[in-house]
Protein backbone atom coordinates (compact mmCIF):
# COMPACT_ATOMS: atom_id res chain seq x y z
CA UNK A 1 0.00 0.00 0.00
CA UNK A 2 2.67 2.51 1.10
CA UNK A 3 0.14 5.36 1.25
CA UNK A 4 -1.69 5.78 4.54
CA UNK A 5 -3.81 8.58 5.90
CA UNK A 6 -3.72 9.27 9.61
CA UNK A 7 -6.98 7.40 10.18
CA UNK A 8 -5.27 4.28 8.76
CA UNK A 9 -2.50 4.68 11.34
CA UNK A 10 -5.12 5.06 14.06
CA UNK A 11 -7.00 1.94 12.97
CA UNK A 12 -3.92 -0.27 12.74
CA UNK A 13 -2.04 0.99 15.79
CA UNK A 14 -4.88 1.84 18.15
CA UNK A 15 -3.33 5.28 18.75
CA UNK A 16 -5.70 8.21 18.31
CA UNK A 17 -4.97 10.51 15.39
CA UNK A 18 -4.78 13.47 17.80
CA UNK A 19 -2.07 11.67 19.79
CA UNK A 20 -0.10 10.83 16.65
CA UNK A 21 -0.11 14.50 15.66
CA UNK A 22 1.18 15.44 19.14
CA UNK A 23 3.97 12.88 18.78
CA UNK A 24 4.87 14.44 15.42
CA UNK A 25 4.96 18.04 16.64
CA UNK A 26 6.35 17.60 20.14
CA UNK A 27 8.81 14.76 19.66
CA UNK A 28 9.46 14.69 15.90
CA UNK A 29 8.63 10.98 15.98
CA UNK A 30 7.64 10.85 12.31
CA UNK A 31 7.23 13.45 9.59
CA UNK A 32 4.33 12.93 7.19
CA UNK A 33 4.84 13.18 3.45
CA UNK A 34 2.69 15.53 1.44
CA UNK A 35 1.14 15.18 -1.99
CA UNK A 36 1.33 17.88 -4.62
CA UNK A 37 -1.98 19.15 -3.28
CA UNK A 38 -0.56 19.28 0.27
CA UNK A 39 -2.44 16.23 1.60
CA UNK A 40 -0.60 14.46 4.42
CA UNK A 41 0.19 10.77 4.03
CA UNK A 42 2.45 8.13 5.58
CA UNK A 43 4.43 5.17 4.24
CA UNK A 44 5.07 1.62 5.46
CA UNK A 45 8.19 2.60 7.41
CA UNK A 46 6.30 5.27 9.33
CA UNK A 47 3.38 2.96 10.03
CA UNK A 48 5.74 0.31 11.44
CA UNK A 49 7.40 2.98 13.58
CA UNK A 50 4.03 3.96 15.06
CA UNK A 51 3.17 0.29 15.67
CA UNK A 52 6.42 -0.25 17.58
CA UNK A 53 6.07 2.96 19.57
CA UNK A 54 2.47 2.13 20.47
CA UNK A 55 3.55 -1.30 21.69
CA UNK A 56 6.21 0.18 24.00
CA UNK A 57 3.86 2.87 25.29
CA UNK A 58 1.35 0.18 26.21
CA UNK A 59 4.17 -1.72 27.90
CA UNK A 60 4.74 1.26 30.20
CA UNK A 61 7.47 3.25 28.46
CA UNK A 62 7.13 7.03 28.35
CA UNK A 63 6.87 8.57 24.90
CA UNK A 64 9.59 11.07 25.77
CA UNK A 65 12.02 8.18 26.37
CA UNK A 66 10.95 6.29 23.25
CA UNK A 67 11.35 9.37 21.04
CA UNK A 68 15.10 9.57 21.68
CA UNK A 69 15.79 5.87 21.12
CA UNK A 70 17.73 4.80 18.05
CA UNK A 71 16.18 2.15 15.83
CA UNK A 72 18.48 -0.46 17.37
CA UNK A 73 17.50 0.58 20.90
CA UNK A 74 13.83 0.52 19.95
CA UNK A 75 14.10 -3.00 18.55
CA UNK A 76 16.07 -4.15 21.60
CA UNK A 77 13.39 -2.85 23.96
CA UNK A 78 10.66 -4.49 21.89
CA UNK A 79 12.44 -7.84 22.04
CA UNK A 80 13.03 -7.56 25.79
CA UNK A 81 9.46 -6.49 26.48
CA UNK A 82 8.08 -9.37 24.43
CA UNK A 83 9.47 -11.82 26.98
CA UNK A 84 7.39 -10.44 29.84
CA UNK A 85 4.58 -12.54 31.20
CA UNK A 86 1.72 -10.06 30.73
CA UNK A 87 -0.34 -11.97 28.17
CA UNK A 88 -2.28 -9.03 26.71
CA UNK A 89 0.95 -7.17 25.95
CA UNK A 90 2.56 -10.25 24.46
CA UNK A 91 -0.48 -10.64 22.21
CA UNK A 92 -0.12 -7.04 21.05
CA UNK A 93 3.55 -7.56 20.16
CA UNK A 94 2.64 -10.45 17.91
CA UNK A 95 -0.32 -8.63 16.32
CA UNK A 96 1.95 -5.76 15.34
CA UNK A 97 4.59 -8.19 14.06
CA UNK A 98 1.94 -9.79 11.82
CA UNK A 99 1.01 -6.35 10.46
CA UNK A 100 4.66 -5.58 9.72
CA UNK A 101 5.17 -8.93 7.95
CA UNK A 102 2.01 -8.32 5.92
CA UNK A 103 3.18 -4.85 4.84
CA UNK A 104 6.52 -6.30 3.67
CA UNK A 105 4.97 -9.31 1.92
CA UNK A 106 7.33 -11.35 4.09
CA UNK A 107 5.96 -14.88 3.82
CA UNK A 108 8.79 -16.47 5.80
CA UNK A 109 8.35 -14.11 8.74
CA UNK A 110 4.56 -14.40 8.62
CA UNK A 111 4.65 -18.20 8.69
CA UNK A 112 7.28 -18.21 11.44
CA UNK A 113 5.06 -15.92 13.54
CA UNK A 114 2.05 -18.15 12.93
CA UNK A 115 3.93 -21.26 13.99
CA UNK A 116 5.40 -19.47 17.01
CA UNK A 117 2.06 -18.30 18.41
CA UNK A 118 0.45 -21.70 17.80
CA UNK A 119 3.23 -23.50 19.67
CA UNK A 120 3.37 -20.92 22.47
CA UNK A 121 -0.34 -20.38 23.07
CA UNK A 122 -2.13 -23.26 21.33
CA UNK A 123 -4.33 -22.94 18.26
CA UNK A 124 -7.48 -21.75 20.02
CA UNK A 125 -5.82 -19.05 22.14
CA UNK A 126 -3.58 -17.91 19.27
CA UNK A 127 -6.52 -17.52 16.91
CA UNK A 128 -8.80 -15.74 19.39
CA UNK A 129 -6.21 -13.45 20.99
CA UNK A 130 -3.79 -12.77 18.12
CA UNK A 131 -4.99 -13.80 14.66
CA UNK A 132 -8.58 -12.56 15.01
CA UNK A 133 -7.53 -9.15 16.44
CA UNK A 134 -4.96 -8.88 13.63
CA UNK A 135 -7.67 -9.63 11.08
CA UNK A 136 -10.03 -7.18 12.72
CA UNK A 137 -7.41 -4.41 12.74
CA UNK A 138 -6.55 -4.90 9.11
CA UNK A 139 -10.20 -5.18 8.06
CA UNK A 140 -9.93 -8.74 6.76
CA UNK A 141 -12.15 -10.45 9.32
CA UNK A 142 -15.65 -9.24 8.46
CA UNK A 143 -15.08 -7.28 5.27
CA UNK A 144 -18.25 -7.55 3.24
CA UNK A 145 -16.59 -7.51 -0.18
CA UNK A 146 -13.38 -8.59 -1.83
CA UNK A 147 -12.08 -5.06 -2.45
CA UNK A 148 -9.28 -5.34 0.07
CA UNK A 149 -5.72 -4.14 -0.48
CA UNK A 150 -3.40 -6.71 -1.99
CA UNK A 151 -1.38 -6.99 1.25
CA UNK A 152 -4.51 -8.09 3.06
CA UNK A 153 -5.16 -10.72 0.38
CA UNK A 154 -1.60 -11.91 0.98
CA UNK A 155 -2.16 -12.23 4.76
CA UNK A 156 -5.53 -13.90 4.33
CA UNK A 157 -4.08 -16.50 1.96
CA UNK A 158 -1.23 -17.36 4.34
CA UNK A 159 -3.57 -17.77 7.31
CA UNK A 160 -5.85 -20.05 5.30
CA UNK A 161 -2.87 -22.10 4.13
CA UNK A 162 -1.68 -22.57 7.71
CA UNK A 163 -5.16 -23.48 8.92
CA UNK A 164 -5.52 -26.05 6.14
CA UNK A 165 -2.33 -27.69 7.41
CA UNK A 166 -3.51 -27.68 11.03
CA UNK A 167 -6.91 -29.13 10.12
CA UNK A 168 -5.29 -31.80 7.96
CA UNK A 169 -3.15 -32.94 10.88
CA UNK A 170 -6.24 -33.90 12.90
CA UNK A 171 -7.33 -37.46 12.27
CA UNK A 172 -10.98 -38.40 11.75
CA UNK A 173 -10.32 -42.05 12.56
CA UNK A 174 -11.95 -42.05 16.01
CA UNK A 175 -15.31 -40.61 15.10
CA UNK A 176 -17.82 -39.61 17.75
CA UNK A 177 -21.57 -39.58 17.22
CA UNK A 178 -21.89 -36.13 15.63
CA UNK A 179 -21.18 -35.08 12.07
CA UNK A 180 -20.82 -31.54 10.73
CA UNK A 181 -21.13 -30.28 7.17
CA UNK A 182 -19.35 -26.93 6.79
CA UNK A 183 -19.97 -24.60 3.87
CA UNK A 184 -20.21 -21.00 2.73
CA UNK A 185 -23.22 -19.79 0.70
CA UNK A 186 -23.05 -18.76 -2.93
CA UNK A 187 -20.71 -15.79 -3.50
CA UNK A 188 -19.26 -16.06 0.02
CA UNK A 189 -15.49 -16.55 0.13
CA UNK A 190 -14.38 -15.82 3.70
CA UNK A 191 -12.94 -19.19 4.72
CA UNK A 192 -10.82 -18.29 7.77
CA UNK A 193 -13.66 -18.56 10.29
CA UNK A 194 -14.91 -21.76 8.65
CA UNK A 195 -11.47 -23.38 8.82
CA UNK A 196 -10.98 -22.39 12.45
CA UNK A 197 -14.40 -23.83 13.30
CA UNK A 198 -13.45 -27.05 11.50
CA UNK A 199 -10.27 -27.25 13.55
CA UNK A 200 -12.22 -26.89 16.83
CA UNK A 201 -14.76 -29.51 15.74
CA UNK A 202 -12.14 -32.04 14.65
CA UNK A 203 -10.03 -31.39 17.74
CA UNK A 204 -13.08 -32.32 19.82
CA UNK A 205 -13.28 -35.66 18.01
CA UNK A 206 -16.22 -35.07 15.67
CA UNK A 207 -16.36 -35.70 11.94
CA UNK A 208 -16.40 -32.85 9.42
CA UNK A 209 -17.24 -32.58 5.74
CA UNK A 210 -16.03 -29.18 4.52
CA UNK A 211 -17.59 -28.10 1.22
CA UNK A 212 -15.68 -24.79 1.19
CA UNK A 213 -16.87 -21.49 -0.27
CA UNK A 214 -19.56 -20.63 -2.81
CA UNK A 215 -21.85 -23.65 -2.32
CA UNK A 216 -25.11 -23.34 -4.32
CA UNK A 217 -28.26 -23.94 -2.29
CA UNK A 218 -29.50 -26.57 -4.75
CA UNK A 219 -26.58 -28.85 -3.77
CA UNK A 220 -27.30 -28.90 -0.03
CA UNK A 221 -30.23 -31.33 -0.11
CA UNK A 222 -28.10 -33.89 -1.97
CA UNK A 223 -25.26 -33.45 0.52
CA UNK A 224 -27.58 -33.87 3.52
CA UNK A 225 -29.09 -37.02 2.05
CA UNK A 226 -25.66 -38.49 1.32
CA UNK A 227 -23.74 -37.43 4.45
CA UNK A 228 -26.59 -37.47 7.01
CA UNK A 229 -25.08 -34.72 9.21
CA UNK A 230 -26.25 -33.62 12.62
CA UNK A 231 -25.26 -30.02 11.94
CA UNK A 232 -24.71 -27.62 9.09
CA UNK A 233 -22.27 -24.80 9.87
CA UNK A 234 -21.88 -21.64 7.80
CA UNK A 235 -20.56 -18.08 8.05
CA UNK A 236 -22.37 -14.97 6.83
CA UNK A 237 -20.39 -11.84 5.98
CA UNK A 238 -22.18 -10.05 3.13
CA UNK A 239 -25.78 -8.83 2.88
CA UNK A 240 -26.89 -11.16 0.13
CA UNK A 241 -27.60 -14.40 1.99
CA UNK A 242 -30.89 -13.81 3.82
CA UNK A 243 -32.97 -15.68 1.25
CA UNK A 244 -30.37 -18.48 1.09
CA UNK A 245 -30.60 -19.04 4.86
CA UNK A 246 -34.40 -18.93 4.81
CA UNK A 247 -34.39 -21.67 2.18
CA UNK A 248 -31.97 -23.76 4.27
CA UNK A 249 -34.18 -23.32 7.34
CA UNK A 250 -37.25 -24.30 5.34
CA UNK A 251 -35.47 -27.38 4.00
CA UNK A 252 -34.53 -28.49 7.52
CA UNK A 253 -38.01 -27.79 8.90
CA UNK A 254 -39.79 -29.70 6.16
CA UNK A 255 -37.40 -32.54 5.32
CA UNK A 256 -34.56 -32.86 7.81
CA UNK A 257 -36.02 -32.00 11.21
CA UNK A 258 -33.15 -33.55 13.17
CA UNK A 259 -30.50 -31.41 11.47
CA UNK A 260 -29.54 -28.01 12.91
CA UNK A 261 -27.99 -25.12 11.00
CA UNK A 262 -25.39 -23.14 12.95
CA UNK A 263 -24.58 -19.70 11.55
CA UNK A 264 -21.70 -17.46 12.57
CA UNK A 265 -19.92 -14.41 11.20
CA UNK A 266 -20.57 -10.69 11.34
CA UNK A 267 -22.91 -10.09 14.30
CA UNK A 268 -24.56 -7.19 12.49
CA UNK A 269 -25.51 -9.51 9.63
CA UNK A 270 -26.71 -12.18 12.08
CA UNK A 271 -29.17 -9.86 13.79
CA UNK A 272 -31.72 -10.27 11.00
CA UNK A 273 -32.05 -13.99 11.80
CA UNK A 274 -34.15 -15.45 14.61
CA UNK A 275 -33.13 -18.64 16.38
CA UNK A 276 -35.49 -21.60 15.97
CA UNK A 277 -35.30 -25.33 16.64
CA UNK A 278 -33.37 -25.71 13.38
CA UNK A 279 -31.34 -22.51 13.43
CA UNK A 280 -28.78 -21.51 16.06
CA UNK A 281 -26.56 -18.41 16.03
CA UNK A 282 -22.91 -18.48 17.12
CA UNK A 283 -21.73 -14.99 18.06
CA UNK A 284 -18.18 -15.82 19.17
CA UNK A 285 -15.68 -18.60 18.34
CA UNK A 286 -16.11 -20.30 21.72
CA UNK A 287 -19.85 -20.77 21.05
CA UNK A 288 -19.06 -23.70 18.77
CA UNK A 289 -17.68 -25.60 21.78
CA UNK A 290 -21.04 -25.26 23.58
CA UNK A 291 -22.68 -27.29 20.83
CA UNK A 292 -20.77 -30.48 21.67
pLDDT digits 0-9 by tens, 194-234: 999 999 999 988 999 999 999 999 999 999 999 999 999 99
Residue 228 lies in a domain: yes
The answer to whether 281 and 273 are in contact (CB under 8 A) is yes
| Structural domain includes residue 99 | yes
Collect the ranges in the chain with pLDDT lower than 50.
144-147
**Distance, first Cα to last Cα, the chain:** 43
Residues 117 and 217 in one domain: no
Adjacent-strand bridge partners of 265:
236
Whether residue 183 sits in one domain with residue 160? no
pLDDT of residue 174: 63
Within-domain flag for 16? no
**Pick from 132, 164, 196: which residue ends a domain?**
164
* Whether 147 and 207 share a structural domain: no
Predicted structure pTM score: 0.82
Three-state DSSP state, 20: helix
Residues with Cβ < 8 Å from 266, sequence gap 6 or more?
A: 142, 144, 236, 237
Whether residues 93 and 144 fall in one domain = yes
Pair 160, 218 in one domain: no
The confidence score (pLDDT) of residue 85 equals: 54
Q: Are residues 65 and 128 in the same domain?
A: yes
Burial status of residue 159 (CB atoms within 10 A of its CB: 0-12, 13-18, 19 or more)? buried
| Residue 20: per-residue pLDDT | 94
Distance CA 239, CA 144 (A): 8
Same domain? For 227 and 277 the reply is yes
The last residue of a domain, from among 142, 164, 186: 164
Residues 61 and 155 in one domain: yes
Q: Are residues 226 and 247 in the same domain?
A: yes
Q: Are residues 130 and 211 in the same domain?
A: no
By residue range, what is the domain housing residue 185?
172-291
Looking at the structure, tell me whether residues 120 and 216 fall in a common domain: no
Residue 25 lies in a domain: no
Cβ atoms 224, 181 nearer than 8 A: yes
Q: Report yes or no on 65 lying in a domain.
A: yes
Q: Answer whether residue 14 is part of any domain.
A: no
| Total of domains in the chain | 2
Specify the pLDDT at position 147: 46
Distance of CA 195 to the CA centre of its chain: 11
- For residues 71 and 53, membership in a common domain is answered with yes
Q: Where are the alpha helices (DSSP H) in the chain?
A: 6-13, 17-27, 44-58, 63-67, 71-82, 87-103, 107-121, 123-126, 132-138, 150-168, 192-203, 220-227, 242-254, 267-270, 287-291
Q: Identify the domain boundary among 131, 147, 164.
A: 164
Residue 33 lies in a domain: no
Tell me if residue 3 falls in helix, strand or coil. coil
200 belongs to a structural domain: yes
Amino acid sequence: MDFYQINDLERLSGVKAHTIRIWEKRYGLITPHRTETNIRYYDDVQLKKILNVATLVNAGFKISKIAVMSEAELNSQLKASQEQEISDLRFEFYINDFIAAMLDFDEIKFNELFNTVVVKFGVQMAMINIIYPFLFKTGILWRADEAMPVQEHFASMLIKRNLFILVGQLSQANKKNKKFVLFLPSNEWHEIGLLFAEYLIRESGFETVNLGPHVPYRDLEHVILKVKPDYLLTFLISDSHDQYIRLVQQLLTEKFKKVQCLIAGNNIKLDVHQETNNLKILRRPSDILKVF
